[in-house]
Structure 1
Amino acid sequence: MSAPHTDVEQVEAANTAFYEALERGDFEEVASLWLTPADLGVDETYHDPADSGVVSCVHPGWPALTGRGEVLRSYALIMANTDYIQFFLTDVHVSVTGDTALVTCTENILSGGPAPEAGEELGPLVGQLVVATNVFRRTPDGWKLWSHHASPVLAETEDEEEDEEETPG
């Protein structure tokens, strides 16, 4: 496979790398994909990079997290408490304007555990449907995450579906 050449391809590759690192539970890789104050020219001598409000993240059902320290702690907690996670991304749309890129997608998530060993069956899994918006900034080291916002998609119940069918209109 050749290296991506266009901004859209580079952003798609950065977005894919983020989800693949999460699936592997590779905290160092996840951390390297998030924007740092230095990426924006913030002098870390005077601003603690852990507390600087450079990045933000909203996980489904969580409050907004601001600052690299809070965001990375959230991923460490998720990884420490998730034996298995796999993302199937659909409806991926990338828009690039200058040094900023917006990715919207649907995360079809399977999680649970424990992860199977060779020849073993997979333990019970939970499926979740989530819509996500990932904002990237161009840096000298490539595209990095600036913000991640994910929200669950609420499934309709059978009663709601029946009501819609019966309602004229």
Structure 2
Amino acid sequence: MTGASAPKETDAEQVETANTAFYEALERGDFDAVSGLWLEDGEYHEDAEISCVHPGWPVLTGRGEVLRSYALIMANTEYIQFFLTDVHIGVAGDTALVTCTENILSGGPAPEAGEELGPLVGQLVVATNVFRRTSEGWKLWSHHASPVLAESDDSESDETPS
């Protein structure tokens, strides 16, 4: 086939690519890549600061606070891997919403110098990522992540059905 071009990615595919790039940059600990995936404050609208909620953290607003939080997380996380499931993408004009479950495997620094990686911990988190279309592609406007509480066996009722 000569002269044929590859089909153009749909908006949803472009958003999925941007969302995947965000998690891959976190896994690599690539602060510059993470920074480049976020909107500049006021880029979409003069009053539109970026925002982020990490599990158990207060709301962070503004590029400085949000990026500082990622620098802190990366500095204190030796290993992290995300397995995304239940990914749903919706696009409305220049705004996109991604919801997903982050199945996270992470480990901190070794307990003592010279030892191997600290213990690995698994965590289940649901996340909402809001993207805006820019001249440079889709950029994160907001990230909100919340832990999924595991159900315990105690949650079942002890009552006998009548």
The alignment's TM-score, normalised by the length of structure 1, stands at 0.82
After superposition, give the CA deviation of every residue in 1:64-92 in whole Å (9 maximum; x if it has no partner): 00000000000000000000000000000
Secondary structure of the residue that 1:89 maps to in structure 2? Answer: strand
2:72 pairs with one of 64, 67, 77: 77
Match of residue 96 from structure 1: 91
Asked if 1 retains the 8 angstrom alpha-carbon contact of 2:54 and 2:146, the reply is: yes
What stretches of structure 2 of length at least 5 have no aligned partner? 1-5, 111-115
Is the helix fraction higher in 1 or 2?
1
Q: 1:20 to 1:150 in 2, by over 3 A?
A: same
Hey, what does 2:134 align to over in structure 1? 139
- 4+ residue runs of structure 1 moved beyond 3 angstroms? 166-169
The amino acid of 1:141's aligned partner reads E
Gaps of 5+ in 1: 43-51, 116-120
1:125 is aligned to 120
Does 2:18 align with 1:14?
A: yes
Number of aligned residues: 152
- The aligned counterpart of 1:59 is 54
1:157 correspondence with 2:152:
yes
CA RMSD of aligned residues (A): 2.3
Secondary structure at the aligned position of 1:87 is classed as: strand
* Offset at residue 37 of structure 1 (A): 3.2
2:43 is the alignment partner of 1:39: yes
Instruction: Describe the superposition over 1:9-44 as per-residue Cα deviations: whole angstroms up to 9, x where unpaired.
Output: 0000000000000000000000000001363365xx
Deviations 1:138-159 (A, max 9, x none): 0000000000000000001111
State the secondary structure of the residue aligned to 2:99. strand
